[in-house]
Structure 1
Amino acid sequence: MVGAAGFGRETLDVVAAINRASPGRWNVLGVVDDAPSAANRLRLAARDVPILGGLDDYSAAPAAEWFVVGIGVPATRQRIAARLEAAGLRAATLIHPSATVGASTTFGAGTVVCAGVAVSNCVEVGGHVHLNPQATIGHDARLGHCASVNPGAIVSGDCSIGARTLVGAGAVVLQGLRIGSDVVIGAAACVTRDVPDQAVAKGVPARWP
């Protein structure tokens, strides 16, 4: 696991749930973090998860090991994932047993799907995507590489979410919209029209400069 902070520890919860449903599926070696806070060190110690060192240490790990990047910032996640993949390491895809997934839906390597997520049918989810607890993804949607959908957010059917875009907690993207790359959609926003690359969209209905 790369990242000792909040989403990294939530991802450890996903792994624990998978192992309860399928004992022995994953063996967590520990967490990699260049600068874990004192609080996060204590939180990991309480669950007997060691900190293995920084990213430079892990980049030389045996290629037989798997990794997942539990860092919420999409651009940072992409940079770290690319570095580890270039070193020959493999990204694990983790789906919480309580998530529901429709037919003909695909997930890219490194994606994390948390508890209570609902993904409909014919959805294409790119690599290293984070679907936070209770997020909903509608039918025929497409989520780009390293996108994040935060807790309780809804991406409606036939939407396209670009690479490294973050959909904030409780936000709603209406049916059939195209959201560009590197976009931030604010918490509780309601997106009613297409959003260009690199925009920050906030409000109801969502607006940007």
Structure 2
Amino acid sequence: MSRIVIAGAGGFGREIFAWLRSSPRFLQQENVDSIVYIDDREDPMGLPAPCVSSIEGYVPLNSDKFICAIGAPQVRSAVVEKIESRSGVFVQFIHDSTVMGMNVVTKAGLVVCPNVIISSDIQIGAHVHINSNCTIGHDVIIEDFVTLSSSCNLTGSVVVEKHAFLGTAVTVIPDKRIGAGSLVGAGSVVLRNVPAGVTSFGNPSKSYGSRNV
């Protein structure tokens, strides 16, 4: 039997708990008998499962499998590094309702929420978050620690580089690239490449200066 440890007890952490409980195939596959949280805030409120420790102080048990529920890519990367340095093992969570085509390559720590469609011939890096109702077209590449908020639409041959964050309902037309560490604002339509490390938003999306991350 294994215990799922959700790192991060904020809003997305509470959502992850609900998605886990609605995924019997995942629970059976990972032989899950309990779910707990770890979080560095004092006494996080309103959780559906116990918070057993801070992230900073947690020492993994042999039965633990981790999911990081922190949306901000840079923060998520730091937390994952901390847990992996203590031999913590991250599991992929792909909700039972996901539709996935052929030749999809995924890595550790992937989180896929309900009603996502992932097409064919796709590469998805480590610790990527794909929120509910996203669609991922053919030949897309998503690098490590990317966050796709709900209802994003990546069309064919899009590349999203590491640590990029896409807000709700972003659409990216075919063959475009989102640069590393960039933030694309909610509702944006990306018609041209987005440089690394910028904030971009609008329809069509325009880039504005460097981000402080």
Normalised TM-score (structure 1): 0.91
Higher helix residue share: 1
**2:53 corresponds to 1:53:** yes
Residue equivalent to 1:26: 32
Q: 2:10 corresponds to which residue? A: 5
* In 1, Cα distance between equivalents of 2:40 and 2:200: 32
3-state DSSP of counterpart to 1:133 = coil
Contact in 1 for aligned 2:20/2:26 (Cα 8 Å): no
Residues 21 and 143 (structure 1 numbering): CA distance in 2 closer, same or farther, change over 3 Å?
closer
Which ranges in structure 2 are unaligned for 5 or more consecutive residues? 1-5, 209-213
Match of 2:80 in 1: 81
Is residue 105 from structure 1 mapped to residue 104 from structure 2 by the alignment? yes
How many Å apart are 1:26 and its aligned residue? 2.1
The alignment status of 1:35 with 2:34, answered yes or no, reads no
Deviation, 1:131, is: 0.4
AA of the residue aligned to 2:147: S
Task: Write the mapping of 1:1-209 to structure 2, written as runs, cut at 5 A.
Answer: 1-19=6-24, 23=28, 25-35=31-41, 38=44, 41-42=45-46, 44=47, 47=48, 49-58=49-58, 60-209=59-208
Partner amino acid for 2:167? G
The answer (yes or no) to whether the contact 1:111–1:127 under 8 Å persists in 2 is: yes
The structure with the largest strand share of the pair is 2
Indicate the percent of aligned positions where both proteins have the same amino acid: 27
Q: CA deviation at 1:22?
A: 5.2
**How far apart, CA to CA, are the structure 1 residues paired with 2:99 and 2:43?**
34
CA distance in 2, matches of 1:130, 1:22: 19
Contact in 1 for aligned 2:117/2:136 (Cα 8 Å): yes
Aligned residues: 202
| Consecutive unaligned residues in structure 1, runs of 5 or more | none
CA distance in 2, matches of 1:98, 1:76: 28
Q: 1:26 to 1:36 in 2, by over 3 A?
A: farther
- Residue aligned with 2:32, SS: coil
Look up the equivalent residue of 1:28 and give its one-letter code: S
Quote the residue 2:3 is aligned against.
none
Moved more, 138-147 or 11-20: 11-20
Moved more, 20-29 or 70-79: 20-29
SS at match of 2:16: helix
Superposition CA RMSD, Å: 1.6
| Secondary structure of the structure 1 residue equivalent to 2:24 | helix
Contact 1:5 1:36 in 2 (8 A): no
Distance 2:96 2:112 in 1: 9
Normalised by the length of structure 2, the TM-score is: 0.89
Give the distance between the partners of 1:171 and 1:108, measured in 2 at CA.
23
Distance in 2 (alpha carbons) for counterparts of 1:118 and 1:178: 20
Is the contact made by 1:184 and 1:200 (CA closer than 8 Å) also made in structure 2?
yes
